[in-house]
Structures are given as structure tokens and as C-alpha cells.
Structure 1
Amino acid sequence: MKEKTTGFEGAPNWLTRQRIALYSACILLMELVYLAIRIDGAYVRKIPDFFALGWDFAVFWAASLVTLHGPASNAYDVALTEPIVSALEHAAHRPFPAPWVYPPTFLLAVKWLALLPFAWSYMLFTVLGMVFSGFTWNRILAAPSLSSWLPVLAFPALWITLLSGQNSLFTFGLAAASLVLLDKKPALAGVCIGLLAIKPQLGIVFPLVLLAGRRWRAFSAALITVGVFCAAAGFALGFETFSKFIAAVPQFSKLTVDVNWAGGMPTWFGIARHFGASPIAAYLTHAVMAAPSLALAAFLFAIPSRATLRAAVVAPATLLCQPYLRGYDFVWLALPIAFLILDARRHGWLKGERAVLVTVWLAPLVFFFPPNLQPALWLPPIMAILAGIIFRRARMVTHLIPPVMSETTDDSAEVRTPAAHDVPAD
């Protein structure tokens, strides 16, 4: 039986399999030290305003608590949720409120969180997210050993998500499942896409690419899933929650425009605002800079491109078109990394690609840097370069790319992912 590999066989000496494991272990050790510092500051020394673990999950838990003890629309009442959140975060003097601005679909999913004490609920939520995302990752790029899992476990964006208690592991899992299933089980892929209604801005690229690729079954299934999900949330929580949500969105949008985010907002909009652009000029700049990645995603789905490249382009296009992002959203960068490694296993590497993927993997570390360095502003250019190498790989004629002939290269991963070439539209 052929040995399963990481996909970096044939790499230069500085990027051997052993060094990947070693460097990942070093990063993981640093993240564990950071975790220990957070625990010591928040729970042992009890430093004022030193955020406790699960600072974003606190918003979910507070929304669940007020929903369980009153109308679901109370989740959108900052006066009710803010004291709960501040107490859970160990932050007595927050610079701005932490409102619930998620749609009723997500409120329906997390309504039950407060049935458990905060700490237990946070741990259960985190474990379920890791299991779900880990399962879907393994469906893309099987990791046969602990050394193969080290880069996954050490991925900086994963730790940002775990520490904050965000829902990114669930949205990652849904996006990954939809891309894996799209060619073979389009209706089920559409259901996964529809469930992204828990955080609808992250599903914005999928309708575009499904229409461009004439994936009618997946598109119809996604549309029906969203409709059923919204109806279920309306009947369970009250349809007035939708009006509360619609009212909360512009208020939060104003907050994102007005606040000087520590470390910078990692979007084209954030870069423009950092350099003094007005909100309107920043939004226009953002639209112009995000358009190429959206066009690339639509183009790859419209032509007979390889499925791995179509799957790889969705995440950078999704992230680049968002005017508001935080560190935990960059868990999605694991998707293009995985699909490009898989494509390289089958067709070989092009010059500079491995260096770009290493940079993309390391990029979320910027959120651990001192905020005064404005490190997050580097993220959009890095993602644009990532989209560029996907485009370069897609435009190469397959037979011109030297195949990977390593004895240890494993092609069995094809059964775990979409077919290597386009299939007829459904």
C-alpha cells in the first residue's frame, strides 16, 4: 500500500516533511504558551479587563440566556445582553457594546447554549466545532499520522477561533462539505450551503459560482434550505426577530466604520479607512479591489476547470469581498491550502506556490502581534496573491504541468474529493 503524504514531497530542502512537522510543533508550542498566559491573566491574577476565554462565545451564551427567559427578540436588546457579556468576559469597562447581530437562523441554532453553565457550554461548542471541521478537512486531504495533523492543529486561525469561541469552525465545515459534495451529491452540497445562513455574509459567493457553473440542483437545494431554515426560525422564535435583526445590522455597520479597530481591519475597506479615506471612498475602493477575485471564482466555475481549483478559489473570494472580518474568519484559509495541496499532488507544483501557501498558513499570526503595528492590514494583499496563484495554475494546460512521480504520492485521495475535471452541469 502506498504511504499517504502531506503533499509537499519534492519540495526544496527547507520544506521537508520533517521540518514542516518541526515548525508546526514550534508554532503550536507558542500558541499553548499564549493560552497559558490568557488563563493566568484572566483566572489566576484576575487582571482587570483581561478578557476571559470565549469572549465572543459570551455573546452567543447571553443571547441564549435572554431567549430562554423571555421573548427571542430580547437577544437584540443590548441593554439586556451587555451586562451578561461584560461579566462573562471579565471586562467591566468595555470601549463599545458587544451586540447580538446574527440572524434568527443562528439564534435558533444556539438558543440552547445557556441550558449549560457558560464554561461547559463553551467547551462543548468548541469540541463540536473541532470534530465537525476536522472531519470535513479529512474528507479533503487525509492526514494519516500525528505529524500530518500538526500543521492543522497549529494553524494560527484555529487558535483565534478556539480562544474566542466563535462559530467559524462550523461555517468552515459547511463550506468544506459543500465543496467536497458539489460534483457527486449536488443537492446535499446545496443543503450545506443553505445552512451557511447562520452567517449569511460568508455564503455570498456560492450563489454567484453556482449560477456561473449552471449548478441548478445545488442552487435550488441551497435556496430551499435557506427558506426552510428561515421559516423554522420564524415559527420557533417569532418573526419579529427578523425585523430586529434588520434593524441591528445598520447599527453594527456604523460601529465597524466608526471604531478604530486594534490591529487594523483586515479588509480592503479597512486599509482604505486606515489611510484616511471616507466611508464612501473606502467602500468604493473595497468594491474595486474585491471584484477580480469574484470574477475569477465565477470564471473558474463557468469553464471546464479542475474541481480542486474551483474549490480553492471560493474561500479567498469570500474573504476578499467582506468589508468586515476578524481573525477567526481566516480559518477559511485552510480550504485553499488543502485544495491546492491536493491539486499539486496530482499535477505537480509551480514555482513559488509552496512559499505562498506557507505565508498564507502563517498569515493569521498577525493577530497575535502588538496592535500598534497594524499587522492585519497585510491580510488582503496576501489573499490577493493566493487568488493569483490559483489563477496561474488554472490557466496552465494540464499536460504542461509535470506530474508528481514520487513513489510515496497517494492518489487515493481522489475518492475523498470532487473529480479532477469538470462534470456536466446538472
Structure 2
Amino acid sequence: MLSLANGTWAKADRLLLIGAVSSISFFVFNVLWQVDFAKTMPDGTIVLVSDFLSFWMAARQVLMGMPEVPYDINAFIGVQELYNDPGVFFAFFYPPMYLMMITPLGFFSSTTAYIVFQAFNAVALSVVMKKIARHWLAVFLVFGSPAAYMSMMNGQNGLLTAFLFGAGLLCLQSRRLVLAGVFIGLLTIKPQLGVLIPFALLAGGYWITFLSAVVTTFLFAGASWIVFGSDTWLAFLQQIPAAQLAMTDGFLPVYHLASVFGFIVGIGGSVGVASVLQFMFGLFLVVITVWTWRKQINFEAKAIVLLSASTLISPFIFVYDLTLLSLAIAFLAGGRANQKLPPWTTTLCATALLITGFSFGIAQTFLIQLGPLAGLLVLIVGLRLAVFSEGTSQVTANRTATQFQGL
């Protein structure tokens, strides 16, 4: 217990061993999972039956000249019947920008498309992780992270959205303000993850990045409108209520939602109560984010608070979206001010990662969703770093003022 409290368990050789074992294990389990849920068609082709099926089928519909089909639930069910068991359906609730982004996947077979998609995302995120943490061991936060594994196992886009978010913050940290806005604008493929970003940018005075993100968003949306036409966008907008009902009317099991909303409903709360509590907690997160980003503190603290709070702000958060917490931990590892943080922060971050691995199974069995706890633990670490770095910044400012007075 003392080792957990003082953080002495987190030695480099142990982290290397844990990361290597986790990465190899997750890779093997992922291969076995894909084989188990793959379906061999009469022509001998193999189709992966997971969330990735909706991405691949949506891309195929675009290439067939029917980009609006993924947004017509009945029509999309029809095109999936050949691959799914009765009663199984993978919806496509993403905006047309994302549909345009994944269209090239339709040129490949299901398995090849999956490998290309996940490999590109994993490599891109690994590069960003290494640059943030300033050490190659950070790649284990991708390949050895339970949340990232859940994303790859289900063929989801958790690695892609984490890459876009992380690249945006990395560019912001290095003062490449326009490029940061471009990455943030591209993150609108999953808008619920970026709810807090405008508050952070405006509070921090990053007007150029904010404007760059707005322009990128409009150009991105405009390009998809030019490519797909008005009918596809209208179909997407008409589908939004159905997407909301999927979350509240039982179409989507509550144990899939790693949010405050999912926790409240899971323990027996009504949808109305859960929605109100999620909204109230969201307001608190906005205040915390604005408070942090307004202060003259190190960037790592701001990034950790924003990333962790972004996993808590929306009711529509899944376990694989918690890959953002790996980014937060990478910022903590790469920060210069983290050396004087309490040692228990290391154990807190490790606990958060473990929770992302067990939250889905616990929720599936007991209907208790622990996913929000992972984000909350990392948020505590970020706030602690913010308070510490504020004190450090104040001391530095006082020393500078004293030096000028002595000239």
C-alpha cells in the first residue's frame, strides 16, 4: 500500500514490462476477437462484423453513388442484412465530413480496410504521444492502453479522434496556432469530444486558433456538401433525433455509455434525472476549464484538464473515447513541472487506465458504469498540477520583478 501511495512502484523497467506485456496481450486478443466475429461470405471474402462494419459499408455506399443511405436507418439495415445476424445492426451517426474522410476505405476489402484504418491511426497517435511525452515509452499508452484496445477491437475511431485532439494541442503548445485550429476543426467528425475546446481557446486568448478552427470546420463541411450534395446533409440532420433516441430509449444498452449519464441511468435513475445531472456537471466542467485556461500556468496542466474534462462533458461518450486520457497522461509525463507533484498522482493515473479496462465488463454485468471515474481521477491530477504550476509561475514572476527592481 505504501508503494502505491509514494509511487515507487512506477519504475522505468516495470513500466516497460507492463507496457510490453499489455501490448502483446491486447494484440493477440484483438486478432482472436476479429477472427471469432468474422464472417466468411459465399464468394470466400471475409467481413469483420463489428462497429467497423458501419464505416466500411458507409464508404461502399458512397462509391456506389448512394451517400445518403448510411443516414437512412431502414435502408442501412437492409444493406447490412447480408452480413449481420437477425436483430443486429450497426448505425452510422457521424456527420458527412467523417463519411468523406473514410470513403477511401470502400476501395478495400473489409479486413484490408480495417488494417489500413487502424494502422494509420495507431501510428499517427503514437507519433503524437512520443512528441508530447518526450519519450518513446509513450507508445505503450496507445498499444497497451485498455481504452485504445477497445477502440481497435471494435474497429472504432478512438485512436483517430485522440490523434486529432492531441495534434491540435501539440501545435498549440508549440505556437503553431493556425495548424492547431486545422486539427481542431477536423475533430468535428465527433463534435461531442470538442464541446469544451472553444471555451478553452477563448479563455486562453488563442483567437487565431479559434478562427482557424471555425474556418476549417466550414471548409470541411462545405467540401462534404460539394462532394455529397444537399440530400446527404438533409438525411444526416433528419437522423439526429433518432441518434438521441438510440441513447435514451434502450436501442443502445446503457452499459455502452461511459458517461455521468450512463452511470446515473445504470444505477436506476431516470433519463430525465440523468440528463439534468449531466447538464449540471457539464456547467461545472465549463467553469473549471475556463478557470484553468485563463491562468498563467504551464500548458501541460491546461491540456490535462481539457482532455479529462472532455471525456466527462457529454452523455454520448464510449469506453474507446477514453483514449483521450492516455493523451492527458502523456502530457503529465512530458511536463517539466510534474517533478514536484505528489507521488500518488502516478497511482491515480494508473488507476484511471485500469478503470477503462474494466468499466465495460462491470457495467455489462452490474449496470454500474465506472468510466466517468477514470476521467475524474485524471481531472484531479490536472487540477493539482494547475494549482502547483500557478504557485511556481507566481514565484518566477516575483523573482523576475525583483531582478528588474535591482537594475
2:55 alignment counterpart = 60
Deviation larger for 346-355 or 303-312: 346-355
2:340 alignment counterpart = 348
Does residue 363 (structure 1) correspond to residue 363 (structure 2)? The answer is no
Q: Is the 8 A contact 1:366 1:376 kept in 2?
A: no
Does residue 22 (structure 1) correspond to residue 14 (structure 2)? The answer is no
Q: Say which of 71, 85, 90 aligns to 1:92.
A: 85
Distance 2:15 2:115 in 1: 29
Deviation larger for 25-34 or 272-281: 25-34
Q: Say which of 284, 296, 301 aligns to 2:288.
A: 296
Q: Is the 8 A contact 1:105 1:198 kept in 2?
A: yes
Change beyond 3 A, Cα 1:372–1:107: closer
Change beyond 3 A, Cα 1:276–1:371: closer
Distance 1:123 1:73 in 2: 26
1:37 shift after superposition? 3.8
Q: SS of the counterpart of 1:321?
A: coil
| Cα offsets for 1:5-58 (capped at 9, x unmatched) | xxxxxx744222222222333433442453354245335999xxxx97461111
1:146-165 → structure 2 map (5 Å cutoff): 149-165=139-155
Q: Is the 8 A contact 1:25 1:150 kept in 2?
A: yes
Higher relative helix content: 2
Q: Say which of 113, 128, 133 aligns to 1:141.
A: 133
Q: Is the 8 A contact 1:264 1:271 kept in 2?
A: no
Which residue identity is paired with 1:271?
A: F
2:169 alignment counterpart = 179
Q: SS of the counterpart of 2:296?
A: coil
1:80 alignment counterpart = 75
Which residue identity is paired with 2:380?
A: G
Which residue identity is paired with 1:153?
A: F
Distance 2:59 2:310 in 1: 28
CA RMSD, aligned part only?
2.7
1:255 alignment counterpart = 246
Does residue 321 (structure 1) correspond to residue 340 (structure 2)? The answer is no
Does residue 102 (structure 1) correspond to residue 94 (structure 2)? The answer is yes
Q: Is the 8 A contact 1:367 1:375 kept in 2?
A: no
Change beyond 3 A, Cα 1:331–1:54: farther
Change beyond 3 A, Cα 1:196–1:54: farther
Normalised to the residue count of structure 2, the TM-score between the two structures is: 0.86
Distance 1:66 1:52 in 2: 16
Distance 1:306 1:400 in 2: 9
1:230 shift after superposition? 0.9
Q: Is the 8 A contact 1:207 1:219 kept in 2?
A: yes
Change beyond 3 A, Cα 1:370–1:386: closer
Distance 2:102 2:163 in 1: 17
Distance 2:386 2:258 in 1: 27
Instruction: State the identity as a percent.
Output: 24
Q: Say which of 386, 399, 402 aligns to 2:378.
A: 386
Q: Is the 8 A contact 1:209 1:298 kept in 2?
A: yes
Change beyond 3 A, Cα 1:239–1:221: same
Distance 1:280 1:399 in 2: 41
Which residue identity is paired with 1:218?
A: T
1:224 shift after superposition? 0.5
1:373 shift after superposition? 2.7
| Cα offsets for 1:360-390 (capped at 9, x unmatched) | 1222211563654347611212322321221
| Cα offsets for 1:308-327 (capped at 9, x unmatched) | 11111111111101101222
Distance 1:373 1:338 in 2: 31
Q: SS of the counterpart of 1:320?
A: coil
State how many pairs are aligned: 383
Q: Say which of 192, 198, 201 aligns to 2:189.
A: 198
1:34 alignment counterpart = 29
Distance 2:254 2:227 in 1: 38
1:270-289 → structure 2 map (5 Å cutoff): 270-289=262-281
Which residue identity is paired with 1:198?
A: I
Distance 2:29 2:7 in 1: 31
1:166 alignment counterpart = 156
Change beyond 3 A, Cα 1:175–1:149: closer
Query: What are the ranges of 5 or more consecutive residues in structure 1 without an aligned counterpart?
Result: 1-10, 402-426
Q: Is the 8 A contact 1:156 1:364 kept in 2?
A: yes
2:397 alignment counterpart = none
Deviation larger for 224-233 or 356-365: 356-365
Q: Is the 8 A contact 1:157 1:327 kept in 2?
A: yes
Q: Is the 8 A contact 1:53 1:163 kept in 2?
A: no
Change beyond 3 A, Cα 1:311–1:237: same
2:401 alignment counterpart = none
Distance 1:12 1:285 in 2: 34
Distance 1:400 1:189 in 2: 27
Query: What are the ranges of 5 or more consecutive residues in structure 2 without an aligned counterpart?
Result: 1-5, 394-407
Q: Say which of 120, 127, 131 aligns to 1:128.
A: 120
Normalised to the residue count of structure 1, the TM-score between the two structures is: 0.82
Which residue identity is paired with 1:188?
A: L
Which residue identity is paired with 1:59?
A: S
Distance 2:105 2:28 in 1: 29
Change beyond 3 A, Cα 1:84–1:126: farther
Q: Is the 8 A contact 1:210 1:216 kept in 2?
A: yes
2:233 alignment counterpart = 242
